[in-house]
Amino acid sequence: EIVARDVQFAAGAPSETYHAVQQADYVAMLARVPDGRFLLVRQYRPAVEAFTWELPAGMVDPGEDPQRTAERELLEETGFPALRTQALGCHAPCTARLSNRIHSYFIETGERRPDTPSEPGLTVKLVDAAELGAMIRSGAFTLQLHAGTILLAALRGLIGFDALMPPGAQPPD
């Protein structure tokens, strides 16, 4: 939904109208499977008219707890159940145009459930941290909001910056 908001920056000044897109909050998960690799999903995104590699993610249903959404979406998209879920934070995806929030999580999974059907149009891929870093650097992984979730996990020490760096590169101080 497009929302118009009139804002008056100073007493007596004329109001200015600003527009925003109002939509549901969503979740993004950096999920690590038991062998230490991370889950990615590939799907077609009509907004950019391309297939994209992303973290598992989804929209929060009305009345649903965002952590529950993250665990449900992870299982639906990948077949991997959440064993331990850690909140990484809740942030604004775009303060200029979007009024919703993105809830980021780091999830340790169990083994893939073989009885989980594949979601149509979705491809699941397992990558190690070095492959994930290479995909971000090359532009194969382009969703900046999800790169932010990966950064939040690294800042909390859940994955090492050095693991994401190319061989021989120095991690940031």
Q: What pLDDT, on a 0 to 100 scale, did the predictor assign at position 163?
A: 79
Sign of the CA dihedral running 42, 104, 97, 143:
negative
Q: What is the DSSP string of 46-91?
A: TTTTEEEEE-SEEEPPTT--HHHHHHHHHHHHHSPPEEEEEEEEEE
Burial profile 14-51: b = 16 or more Cβ within 10 angstroms, e = fewer: eeeeeebeeeebbbbbbbbbeeebbbbbbeeeeeeeee
Q: What pLDDT, on a 0 to 100 scale, did the predictor assign at position 94?
A: 83
Distance CA 117, CA 79 (A): 7
List, in order, residues 6 or more apart from 39 with CB less than 8 Å away. Answer: 29, 31, 32, 33, 55, 56, 74, 78, 80, 109, 124, 125, 126
Are 100 and 64 within 8 A, CB to CB?
no
List, in order, residues 6 or more apart from 9 with CB less than 8 Å away. Answer: 16
The number of angstroms, rounded, from the C-alpha of 102 to the middle of its chain's C-alpha atoms is 8
pTM of the model: 0.88
Q: What pLDDT, on a 0 to 100 scale, did the predictor assign at position 32?
A: 98
Q: What pLDDT, on a 0 to 100 scale, did the predictor assign at position 171?
A: 55
Distance CA 153, CA 62 (A): 27
Q: What pLDDT, on a 0 to 100 scale, did the predictor assign at position 113?
A: 93
Distance CA 12, CA 128 (A): 58
Quick one: angle between helices 144-155 and 129-138, nearest 10?
140
Q: What pLDDT, on a 0 to 100 scale, did the predictor assign at position 170?
A: 64
Please list the pLDDT of the chain residue by residue as tens digits (173 residues): 898 889 988 898 999 998 888 889 999 999 999 999 999 999 999 988 999 999 999 999 999 999 999 999 999 999 999 999 999 999 998 888 888 899 999 999 999 998 888 788 899 999 999 999 999 989 999 888 899 999 999 999 999 878 787 777 765 56
